[in-house]
Amino acid sequence: MSLALKQVFNKDRTFRPKRKFEPGTQRFELHKKAQASLNAGLDLKQAVQLPHGEDLHDWVAVHVVDFFNRINLIYGTISDSCTEQSCPVMSGGPRYEYRWQDEHKYRKPTALPAPKYMSLLMDWIEVQINNEDIFPTNVGTPFPKSFMQVAKKILSRLFRVFVHVYIHHFDRVSQMGAEAHVNTCYKHFYHFVKEFNLIDHKELEPLKEMTSRMCP
Nearest CA among 125, 134, 136, 127 for reference residue 27:
136
All residues at 6 or more sequence positions from 84 whose CB lies less than 8 Å from its CB, including other chains: 113, 114, 115, 116
All residues at 6 or more sequence positions from 17 whose CB lies less than 8 Å from its CB, including other chains: none
Count other Cβ atoms within 10 Å, centred on residue 171: 9
Binding-site residues for Zn(2+), in ranges, read 82, 87, 164, 169
Residue pair 34/63 in contact by the 8 Å Cβ criterion? yes
Nearest CA among 45, 58, 72, 195 for reference residue 138:
58
Nearest CA among 185, 198, 191 for reference residue 215:
191
Q: What angle do CA 12, 8, 27 make, to 5 degrees?
A: 35
Binding-site residues, in ranges, read 82, 87, 164, 169
